[in-house]
Amino acid sequence: MTKYPLISIVIPTYNRAAYLRQAIDSALGQDYPNFEVIVVDDGSTDETPQICSEYGDKIRYIRKKNGGTASALNCGIRNMKGEWFKWLSSDDVLEPHALSSLLRCSNITKSRIVYSSYKVIDQNNKVISSWTEIKRSHEEFLSVLIKYHIGNGSSILIHKSCFIEVGLFDEKLRVAEDYDWWLRAAALHNIRFSACQAFTLNYRVHVQALTYSYKPQHPRYNYFMRNRLLRQLKSKNPRLYKWLKKHRYPYNLKGLTVYVRRKLFSLLPSQVGRNLFKIKKEIDAHKNSRQ
């Protein structure tokens, strides 16, 4: 095995000129010694071609007709020279140690797919939250994945052999193409995903993001993909199908608790709810003052 295998960083982009330079610079600024950067322009109508031309031969620039994120990712995969595939959305930012941290985790866990913790930033690069990924067994990962999308597409590192087994991203999907691929890889092909707890990514949220455009449709997409997978499993792997139907664990117990609490509060008369919320704030403030 090569000590420093070639890693292909694929940046699919569509009209993200405002953030593209920062994404490319973060890819080029890796402390890992052996990588290539491929920018797949999915038919942008802004300054994307001009920005990419500024980098010369530091990057490989591929322009194609607009077809969605999945088609841009697949174009990058077909053209990459690396042994490993690293996805980076064009409005996100990699930490300098991203590639080295993910590959180190892969070597330790012997996994062909690794995903990491990440920070959430706004349009001005201000960190507004973070998400720490939890290490799970393959069975635990599956039991959660069947109900919730685990991980972040831009935080993931995938060995190219996985695409030979699983296939490419589904180009019919205009959103959640990563969730669909995760389900197929983990459940149908029994490929293990390993969590790297290092923060390798700054994930940007902004109103122009694709996930905002399709947000109302997310539940419908996820419901469709989960049920499609379960139908496939029912015939191909009845034992796993029955196990998954029985074991479905919540991804984030704390988040679930907050959701249930808010739901219960919404059922109370408004004045009662406000009084209870006021009492809770006073209790929390008292606890903090004693720490």
pTM equals 0.79
| 53: number of Cβ within 10 Å | 10
Q: To the nearest 10°, the Cα dihedral for 206, 211, 214, 218?
A: -130
Query: Please, which pLDDT band fits residue 233 given cuts at 50, 70 and 90?
Result: confident
pLDDT at position 67 is 96
**Contact 242/196 with Cβ under 8 angstroms?**
no
Neighbours of 27 (CB within 10 A): 24
Position 173 scores a pLDDT of 86
The tokens describing 264, both together, are 């219960």
At 83-141, the pLDDT tens digits run 999 999 999 999 999 999 999 999 999 999 999 999 999 999 999 999 999 999 998 89
- Domains of the chain in start order, with CATH, are 7-246 (3.90.550.10), 254-290 (no CATH)
